[in-house]
Amino acid sequence: MELIYILTYNCNFRCKYCDVYKHNNSISEDIIKQSLIFLEKNNFEINKVKFFGWEPLLKKDFIKDIIKDFPSKYNPNFFVTTNSTLIDQNFINFSKKKNINLTFSIDWDVEANIENRILETWDNLSKNIIRNTQKYADFIRVNQVITSKNSKDFFKNFKFIYDLWVRNFNFLPAYYVNWTKTWLKDLKKWFDEILNFYKSWNDFELVNLDNYSEISFFNLGIIIDTDWSIYWTNLILSWNFEKYKKELVLWTIFDEIFIDISNKIFIENYINKISKILEKEYSSEVLISVKYVDLILNNFCNEYKTYRNKYMKSM
């Protein structure tokens, strides 16, 4: 089971493809303390703790405090995803010491970053992202965002990041947009090319294999929000779903849980609720295109895994 802390809705970027509802709400020390009490008095099977923010390193100290004081009865892996502009050697050292899985989001080269992210003085920041990615390539993972429009350059962009010596990739096709047949063909073609690249003795790890979710692009698990609330999906981060928060909220961190939240019926009912909301918010064309995108990604992941397992057995 995953636990996700939403540290802040603020971000120092305004990426064109990101639909997270940006505002200034952030977690507080009181919420952190109470959340740890909540976790201590309840018994969950937590194996992953992820820190979301729309730039989590705006709250570096809170990440450190949560990890330091996390209930000892749990032994989870910790995950932080960042645009890397606020990274420093101190946090890198902390991440290595605490075995944090650190992921950088990078779009590819400087020009493409400037095109997709909105910020003054972005040229220098874009260069800084690329510089940091190369500097810490042997430690980090990379999220490569694939939008419908840049799918035609997908393999070129992947190769650019690979040549920075990154060897851990999480591919993130943009969901809940209407992919045309041409864009879908591009996406599949370049996933096939990346698989052929891998088979040609160019090794890399596919982080997607650890990130499966039953709802495309959104995680299921215990989501602790900045206002004490607890959800079962991070779908509520999207500006499209802000209005459904009251419908999706489960508890607060002051509550004691008396039901088994890993129960299949509980999860199925919640997923059905999410699915109905998605059908309200998106056209059938968009939802169908999401299924195609998901199918292409899943097929790629399965082929990668099959080939890797076959190769490992032959060694």
What are the extents of the domains in the chain? 2-314
**The dihedral formed by the CA atoms of 158, 164, 165 and 169, expressed in degrees to the nearest 10:** -30
Tens digit of each residue's pLDDT (9 = 90 or more) over 20-73: 777 889 999 999 999 999 999 998 999 999 999 889 999 999 999 999 999 999
Tokens 């730039």 correspond to what residue? 55
pLDDT bracket for residue 15 (50, 70, 90): confident
Quick one: average pLDDT of 109-130? 63
Q: Which fold has domain 2-314?
A: TIM Barrel (3.20.20)
Quick one: average pLDDT of 301-310? 94
Average pLDDT, the chain: 89
Dist. CA 310–CA 269, nearest whole Å: 38
Give residue 147's pLDDT: 84
Tens digit of each residue's pLDDT (9 = 90 or more) over 254-296: 998 888 888 889 888 999 999 899 999 999 999 999 899 999 9
Q: Lowest mean pLDDT: which of 24-33, 105-114, 131-140, 273-282?
A: 105-114
149 in helix, strand or coil?
coil
Q: Are 151 and 186 in contact (CB under 8 A)?
A: yes
Tens digit of each residue's pLDDT (9 = 90 or more) over 146-190: 888 788 889 999 999 999 999 999 999 988 889 999 999 999 999
pLDDT over 60 at 223, yes or no: yes
Q: For the chain, give the number of residues.
A: 315
Which pairs with CB-CB distance under 8 Å and at least 24 residues apart come from 194-201?
194/155, 194/158, 194/300, 195/300, 195/303, 195/304, 195/307, 197/155, 197/159, 198/304, 198/307, 199/307
The count of C-alpha atoms lying within 13 angstroms of the C-alpha of 180, restricted to the half-sphere facing its C-beta, is 8
Report residue 222: phi and psi, to 5°.
Answer: -85, 115
Q: Is the dihedral of CA 178, 184, 190, 195 positive or negative?
A: positive
Tens digit of each residue's pLDDT (9 = 90 or more) over 238-252: 888 889 999 999 999
Give residue 248's pLDDT: 92
pLDDT bracket for residue 111 (50, 70, 90): low
Tens digit of each residue's pLDDT (9 = 90 or more) over 187-211: 999 999 999 999 999 999 999 998 7
pLDDT over 70 at 132, yes or no: yes
33 in helix, strand or coil?
helix
Quick one: average pLDDT of 14-23? 76
Dist. CA 73–CA 95, nearest whole Å: 21
Is pLDDT larger for residue 12 or for residue 186?
186
Give residue 128's pLDDT: 83
Give residue 164's pLDDT: 94
pLDDT over 80 at 214, yes or no: no
pLDDT over 70 at 116, yes or no: no
pTM for the predicted model, two decimal places: 0.89
